[in-house]
Amino acid sequence: MKEIRLHGRGGMGTVKAAEVIVYANVAKGGYGNSIPFFGFERQGAPVTAFVRIDSKPIRPKTQVYEPDCIIIMDPTIQNAVDVFEGIRENSVLVLNTKEDFANLSLPANIKKVALIDATTLALELLNKPITNTAMLGAFVKGTEWVNLSDVVSKVRENWGDLNADIVRKAYEITKVYEIN
């Protein structure tokens, strides 16, 4: 089972991104569940979503305490939340940032990093800093745990062709780094 924790802010589509990941795993014959966690339900407030995906039925319906992957939708969330809490060995980080990989300070447990400037991409194409679709493309490229075509299909169904194009563009431009 793969456990994923998404960190974002209200209005960025964090919870919907989690649902799309589950859909994509189910579309390829697997199982999944997503659980949102809200503090104050308002735009800009920290939001966390938890996802589990597997090839067999999933029993736990709790928060994810030891993620295999962390998706950070907004880099400033790191100032408010310990995003790396409980991260497992050999984990994947999918990060929305303008920073260069060489400038990042990462826990030793992270062995793969997928970087994208999702905010700029969203602003250029949507005129809004809604990063969920770009981060989904980066997630697919960084993990290869679900199929790009399934994510694109669900995003198109939910939000139309422009957002489906953002997923594909994000997949193309995401830079993936392996850490030894």
Tens digit of each residue's pLDDT (9 = 90 or more) over 102-125: 999 999 999 999 999 999 999 999
The pTM of this model reads: 0.94
Structure tokens at 85: 């809490």
The topology under which CATH files domain 2-99+113-178 is: Pyruvate-ferredoxin Oxidoreductase; domain 3 (3.40.920)
Cα–Cα distances (Å) from 30 to 20, 44, 115, 144, in that order, read: 13, 33, 27, 14
Q: What is the pLDDT of residue 10?
A: 87
Q: What is the pLDDT of residue 41?
A: 58
Structure tokens at 122: 């969203």
Domains of the chain, residue spans: 2-99+113-178
CA 99 to chain centre: 18
Distance CA 30, CA 157 (A): 20
Task: Write the DSSP symbol of residue 129.
Answer: -
Q: What is the pLDDT of residue 46?
A: 86
- The series of mean pLDDT values per 10 residues for the chain, 180 residues long, is 95 93 97 83 80 95 94 91 94 97 94 98 94 97 98 97 98 96
Does residue 46 contact residue 7 with C-beta atoms inside 8 Å? yes
Q: What is the pLDDT of residue 60?
A: 86
Non-local (6+) Cβ contacts of 19 within 8 A are: 34
